[in-house]
Amino acid sequence: MSPEQSNKLWSQEMLQRATKVKLAIFDVDGIFTDGRLYFSPEGDEMKVFHVRDGFGIKAIQQAGIEVAIISGRKGPAVTKRMQSLGVEHVYQGFEDKLPIYQQLLAKLGLTPEQTSYMGDDVPDIPVLHVCGLPITVADAHHSVVPHALYVTPQGGGQGAVRQACELLLAAQD
């Protein structure tokens, strides 16, 4: 996507809020993945991650934006992927995400306005309500869309994380 195409997707309000973001927080299932659950014949859970999303995460980290995940599910694939991306704030197995979000802000000394959050389903709505830049994906549950300021053109697991990262980079570069 060219810069001209990207800029048409972003309102002045999105860009203004994105300039303040020091911590980008993401859900995993339906954001980094397509939301489907894959199991091996042995019952091991497998996840598919888009390489472009990883590039986006690395780019915002290099720009000085910290990254965190808060996921309702827990699994070794997420742990391994986040380790490979250098994400140190990894919270898994938390269906009630707001208390973890608040603890993370207190730990890092940040305000809600200094955070973006990207989620796609009902458990994400409380955090979307309080963060500075609420983001969701094109294929989010219909009840989530009204709570997001930015809806990425791509669906979860299809490079949507990269699109959110590009917004942050465009606003802060």
CATH number for the domain harbouring residue 56: 3.40.50.1000
Give how many domains the chain has, as a whole number.
1
Of 36-50, 82-96, 136-150, 151-165, the least confident: 36-50
**What is the extent of the structural domain holding 148?**
3-172
What pTM was computed for the model? 0.93
What is the full DSSP assignment across 55-121? HHHHHHHHTT-EEEEEESS--HHHHHHHHHHT--EEEES-SSHHHHHHHHHHHHT--GGGEEEE--S
Residue 173 banded pLDDT, cuts 50, 70, 90: confident
pLDDT class for 79, splitting at 50, 70, 90? very high
The whole-number average pLDDT for the span 16-26 is: 97
Res 97: pLDDT: 98
Interstrand relation of 66-71 and 38-39 (parallel, antiparallel or unpaired): unpaired
Q: What is the mean pLDDT of residues 143-163?
A: 97
Q: How far is 144 from 67, CA to CA, in rounded Å?
A: 22
Please tell me which residue, 127 or 35, carries the higher pLDDT value.
127
